[in-house]
Homo-oligomer: A and B are copies of this chain.
């Protein structure tokens, strides 16, 4: 006998978790479709040099890679962004541009698993590629808003910033050459706090005065509205640049679409990654901000450059589905808690197996998800346990006069029913 173990950092998804994931995935897919976004998929395995080409900090140890039977160096995708860039380069001429796509799929990292992080995880990415204007920035934000609204979440806040504005500000301080380090430090503020960031900035800039100015910039939204913050940081930069105009156009669209209350301008949002060039954002859920951003992204203008001469600007966002499931479960969302396997289960007595299957067929055609308990020789207790484990609310049994329905929570019964009456009572 082989011990049925599972690899470290991996886990099975049991029915209740998988039902919750599918509920969430369907909800998101419906929203994406309502915006005209289309799905794609790419292989789990790619040439290693395609995935590592970017060289963006992913090291050997963090990815699963090996030599296949044909001596090719292959690797399992560690995100959906790099395969998307490769996909765009390969299929550019076949696609409708601007290309609006979503991709929900597994990715893999060999890193040491931390609390709530696994070596196999589901990413949900959505992007618009081939347009660089306020409308497309807005469309991604609007799609994010519609998604979180559809997920039934009441309190969510999108924190926006613009990388161009930050770069222009750093340029005005003659700090452009240190921009990457500064952005990475500021990016950690939610984790390590303002004081720590201040210390780091002093080391990076070597100047208390410049550090104070940066701190003042990234704290600009304290006690200021969206547009006041923008005006204030423009005054720090010394002019109203294109980036400023873009942000104001986006804000105007958010305002006219009636969704501005979910958005704040937060100049401390930088997103550490090098490739962002415009708007950047993170998403926090009220009361559980500490779990971190559940949807993040931004505008990038040269993602495909590694594989193609096309210069494709893009804007997009990414949701870590596992973290989102955890968050929705903490909030108590019905998408996560409604995990009944069926609306009703038929409990036949021995000899009633045929009747049970026929009744089940009819209930299904009336629109009820109908299970049949397939071990009628078992004791009643086993039957009720079965219904309970599956969170099935009702049971159908047969009496001499007709059908009887039991509410399994209250243990109330009604008898002498038609299947149509059963259906009405179950809804």
A2-B307, A142-B361 given; A98·B38 CB < 8 A: no
Size category, A interface: 35 or more
Q: Is the CB of A42 within 8 A of B66?
A: no
Among A165-173, A266-274, A282-290, A351-359, the one that faces the other chain is: A351-359
Residues of B within 8 Å of A227, CB to CB, are: none
A345-B36, A374-B135 given; A43·B6 CB < 8 A: yes
1/0 contact string of A346-382 vs chain B (CB within 8 Å): 0000000110111001001000011111110000000
Q: Is the CB of B341 within 8 A of A2?
A: no
Nearest B residue to A388, CB-CB: B96
1/0 contact string of A108-144 vs chain B (CB within 8 Å): 1010000000011000000010110111101100100
Q: B1, B2, B40, B106: which contacts A12 (Cβ < 8 A)?
A: B40
Q: Is the CB of B361 within 8 A of A33?
A: no
Give the CA-CA distance A96 to B342 in the complex, in Å: 13
Q: Is the CB of A120 within 8 A of B45?
A: yes
1/0 contact string of A234-262 vs chain B (CB within 8 Å): 00000000000000000011001100000
8 A-B residue pairs with CB within 8 Å: A2-B50, A4-B87, A18-B39, A33-B342, A38-B390, A45-B64, A96-B390, A128-B374
Partner-B contacts on A (CB < 8 A)? 1-8, 10-15, 18-19, 21-22, 26, 29, 33-47, 49-50, 53, 60-61, 64, 66-70, 72, 74, 76, 86-87, 89-91, 94-98, 100-101, 106, 108, 110, 119-120, 128, 130-131, 133-136, 138-139, 142, 146, 252-253, 256-257, 306-309, 341-342, 345, 353-354, 356-358, 361, 364, 369-375, 385-386, 389-390, 392
